[in-house]
Structure 1
Amino acid sequence: MSIDAEHPVPVDSVNAPASAETSAIEFSRIYAIEAPKLQRYFRTRLRGAEDVSDLVHETFVRLLGALDTRNPVRPAAYLQRIARNLLFNRTKRLENRLAGSHVSFDDGYELATPANQGDEIEVEDMMRIYRKALSELPEKTRQAFLLHRVDELTYREIGERLGISIPTVQYHIARALAHIDAALEQE
């Protein structure tokens, strides 16, 4: 639990705010306290400084999305979990990209356990829902999201390519994430 001298209320003790205005103020307070910690966390684990801002932003976007469906009692801990997951996903994506060109399998070996057909069906269903949710997005929102997730462009690069500001890019990506998350939660 973190406590700041300017903000004597522990960040982790935040619970259901009374109104949208109170919620916005509370979120701003959490951001002011936790964003620098997340920046340090990401900076110590990454080389690129531009990625740090994007990851901090995405961490808070995911927290906002979670606040729509659940109310974490300890938002600071929830943010740390989101940050760890983002780094894990990023690392796995990079490993998969690198491994695809370096790994070769010998035909003489069989897998220790057969593939589970149920897992394949579940993945196919999730991809169907994902594609449908993606197709429902407005064009500019879909473009910004795909440039970020597929082409792995930074917010600045997306803004330059689409001719929009970085806050507008952040808006579009947050909107896409919230829509896709809601679609996956419904299934």
Structure 2
Amino acid sequence: MGKRSLQEAQTVDLDAACREHAAGLRAITRKVRDDEADLAQDACLKLVETARREPVAAPAHLLFRIARNLVIDRMRSRGRAARLFQEATAYEQQPSSAPDPERALLANERLRRALSVIDGMPDRRREAFLLHRIDGLSYPQIARRMGVTVKAVEKHISAAMLQLARGMRTDDGDD
């Protein structure tokens, strides 16, 4: 059997493993209610990506480990977002005399600069960056939504982070 037919055979095996364990995947991803179908699909995609790089001896075991890790990552991401929201809400509820006006002014200025840099990004770069940083989507989810490869998403977000860092550093030095 040639290399190509071995890969095709393993892809069929992986597809069968995903279908065979769909109920188990749903049980694991159910903790992340509205994203459970996406997480189950992402787990299957990551399994296939892993199998392209190296042989997978126990696809079901790896599939469940990937799904569990995706759930943990999503819950951590939501926890961070919830903490940021709580901090912002707590900050807004403080008496107006409590925050230092100079710090508030500097924070607002940095936010204005960051938004300006983000607005100046090319459309696809900005879209990938916002989907990841604001909407909390994973690279594979962004790739599907934008119709590009995961590698392209990685490049867009890397370029966006670099542009943002440079834009903030340049503005900081101008003051």
Q: TM-score scaled by structure 2?
A: 0.49
With a CA cutoff of 8 Å and minimum separation of 6, indicate the structure with the bigger relative contact order.
1
Which structure's CA Rg is the greater one? 2
- Structure with the larger helix share: 2
Normalised by the size of structure 1, how large is the TM-score?
A: 0.46
